[in-house]
Amino acid sequence: MPGRSGVRLVGARPVSERLSGHAAAGRRPLLLRGARPLGGPRQDVLVTHEVVATGATAARLAADLHAVRVDVEDLVLLPGLVDLHTHLREPGDEASEDIVSATRAAAAGGFTAVHAMANTDPPTDTVARAEALAQAAAARGVVDVAVVGAVTVGRRGVDVVDIPAMARSRARVRIFSDDGSCVGDPSVMRQALRSAAAAGALVAQHAQEPRLTEDAQVNERRATVELPGWPPVAEDVIVARDCVLGHDLGAPVHICHVSTAGAVDVLRWAKARGTAVTAEVAPHHLLLTDELVGTGDPVYKVNPPLRSAEDVEALRAALADGTIDAVATDHAPHVSSRKSCAWSQASPGMLGLERALAVVLTTMVAPGRLEWAQVADRMAHRPALIGGLADQGRPVAAGEPATLTLVDPTVRWRAAPRSTMSLSDNDPYVGQPLQGQVEATMLRGKVVHLAPGTVRGWPDDVADHLA
């Protein structure tokens, strides 16, 4: 149906009305020429702060509106990625990472929203702390930041935080997690699951039975006298317990960084019986194995640890068939002093934001195990649903926010040392052959990342679109 101006209506309002808001922000519309939405056929896509039109309509409107034209022929266009598991390190450890560096790394990796885990110093366990972090992130973050609340006061595993108050607060906390530690006490977990469900929130569990992993350093089959083992069953039993607890209460539960074939079996069983469980896998668990423990380099120390090739295969299969809902980075920066030491003294954790999409492309898309539409599902749509982010992970379609990522799927590369936006350099992918690179990231029409030295060369006008 034509609007007053003769421009067709897209969504609820005429295109002309939506363009005026963008012009007021001092930005011209962008015409992305020859993009491939979700890896499909080439199409022109016209964007302001929203996707205005696609195909022939986009090209026609672009001429009338003097749009900035960018040749992105054959780049895959995805919704901006959403990370469920980011360690910002702010407050308390700004030498390792802060809001600015973490969100820049996120944008460089194609992410337009991240969830800030609660194991900061102090931990995010009160309304005041959650609101302070949300406010700081809104002021200084390059991409959207959703605040994750701790499950228990001080992350000590004893007293459940005031979940309803944090959910109602201006920080709108939707996910609660003691990540870094397991909520080991089943009665505490039961209480948290019940309280979160009543508040429209959910608990995300770091599944690690504490009594089975005391001093654990490496996957159990790599254990030595000096480096005690982390048995895979220590993960499996907590996943099973929490699926059963959640099922009994009708409460949703989310499992962080699944790393074992056994946990995948449990998830498959729980989903088949109708449990409201969701799960994520970290990029390092999709690509790297415990063979790397043999290098002795603590850059490969992570919790849960790198597992066997059989576990990696089970995780890839589970991501492909949807048993695992999402890829989440568990981006965990550490200053070099915490990694340049003996393995047993080193802190667990790895960078991930800037490599996650390439890892998924290399391990899942290139071998034909995931289509691009499924990448959008596992890395944008489902994480946004789990995190309750209404304007993230949306389809690439007219009327939707221009929150987008452009990917060159053909580039083959190896990460160079110290080649990230992070303040830390515990990058386990240095030297690994990877495929695919994020060329540009856009948040509601603002270009928040443009790959340096991109082959295509974007016109200078695009600088106006940079955040």
206 touches Zn ion by CB under 5 A:
yes
The number of C-alpha atoms within 13 Å of 259 and in the hemisphere containing its C-beta is 31
Identify which range of 119-127, 146-154, 179-187, 360-368 contacts Zn ion by CB under 5 A.
179-187
254 touches Zn ion by CB under 5 A:
no
391 is annotated as an active-site residue = no
Nearer to Zn ion, 49 or 85 (CB): 85
Choose, from 125, 330, 408, 427, the residue flagged as catalytic: 330
CA dihedral of residues 198, 201, 207, 209 (deg, nearest 10): -30
Work out the end-to-end distance of the chain between its first and last CA atoms, rounded to an integer number of angstroms.
35
Nearer to Zn ion, 84 or 266 (CB): 84
Bond prior to 164 in cis (omega within 30° of 0)? no
Nearer to Zn ion, 311 or 377 (CB): 311
Identify which range of 119-127, 174-182, 196-204, 430-438 contacts Zn ion by CB under 5 A.
174-182
Q: Which residue is nearest to Zn ion (CB)?
A: 206
Nearer to Zn ion, 131 or 311 (CB): 311
Pairing of strands 433-443, 446-450: antiparallel
Nearer to Zn ion, 84 or 171 (CB): 84
Report the run of H or E that residue 34 belongs to, with start and end.
strand 30-37
Identify which range of 70-78, 204-212, 370-378, 396-404 contacts Zn ion by CB under 5 A.
204-212
377 touches Zn ion by CB under 5 A:
no
Q: How far apart are CA 463 and CA 297, in angstroms?
A: 41
Nearest-approach distance from CB 147 to Zn ion, in angstroms: 17
Identify which range of 10-18, 173-181, 237-245, 390-398 contacts Zn ion by CB under 5 A.
173-181
Q: 421-440: which residues touch Zn ion (CB under 5 A)?
A: none
Query: 120 with 152: CB under 8 angstroms?
Result: no
Q: How far apart are CA 231 and CA 249, in angstroms?
A: 29
Provide the mask over 321-360, with x wherever binding to Zn ion is found by CB under 5 A and - wherever it is not.
----------------------------------------
For the record, the structure tokens of 93 come out as: 């450890």
Question: In this structure, what DSSP letter does residue 207 have?
Answer: -
Nearest-approach distance from CB 119 to Zn ion, in angstroms: 8
Counting every residue, how long is the chain? 467
CA dihedral of residues 349, 297, 106, 440 (deg, nearest 10): -160
CA dihedral of residues 376, 380, 384, 385 (deg, nearest 10): 20
What single string gives the DSSP state of each residue in 336-402?
GGGTSS-GGGSPP-B--TTTHHHHHIIIIITTTSS-HHHHHIIIIIHHHHHHT-TTSS--SSTTSB-
Question: In this structure, what DSSP letter does residue 142 have?
Answer: S
Query: 85 with 257: CB under 8 angstroms?
Result: yes
DSSP bridge pairs for 33: 71
Nearest-approach distance from CB 256 to Zn ion, in angstroms: 5
115 touches Zn ion by CB under 5 A:
no
Q: 266-285: which residues touch Zn ion (CB under 5 A)?
A: none
Question: In this structure, what DSSP letter does residue 152 have?
Answer: B
Nearest-approach distance from CB 341 to Zn ion, in angstroms: 21
Identify which range of 4-12, 137-145, 201-209, 378-386 contacts Zn ion by CB under 5 A.
201-209
Q: How far apart are CA 119 and CA 417, in angstroms?
A: 27
Nearest-approach distance from CB 104 to Zn ion, in angstroms: 23
Nearest-approach distance from CB 309 to Zn ion, in angstroms: 22
User: Would you tell me how many other CB atoms lie within 10 Å of the CB of residue 268?
Assistant: 15
Nearest-approach distance from CB 424 to Zn ion, in angstroms: 17
Nearest-approach distance from CB 245 to Zn ion, in angstroms: 19
# binding residues, Zn ion (CB under 5 A): 2
179 touches Zn ion by CB under 5 A:
yes
Nearer to Zn ion, 44 or 179 (CB): 179
User: Would you tell me how many other CB atoms lie within 10 Å of the CB of residue 250?
Assistant: 12
Q: How far apart are CA 161 and CA 362, in angstroms?
A: 40
Identify which range of 3-11, 172-180, 185-193, 294-302 contacts Zn ion by CB under 5 A.
172-180
Nearest-approach distance from CB 262 to Zn ion, in angstroms: 17
Nearer to Zn ion, 33 or 284 (CB): 284
Nearer to Zn ion, 44 or 83 (CB): 83
Query: 158 with 187: CB under 8 angstroms?
Result: no
Nearer to Zn ion, 197 or 256 (CB): 256
The contact set with Zn ion (CB under 5 A) reads 179, 206
Active-site positions? 330
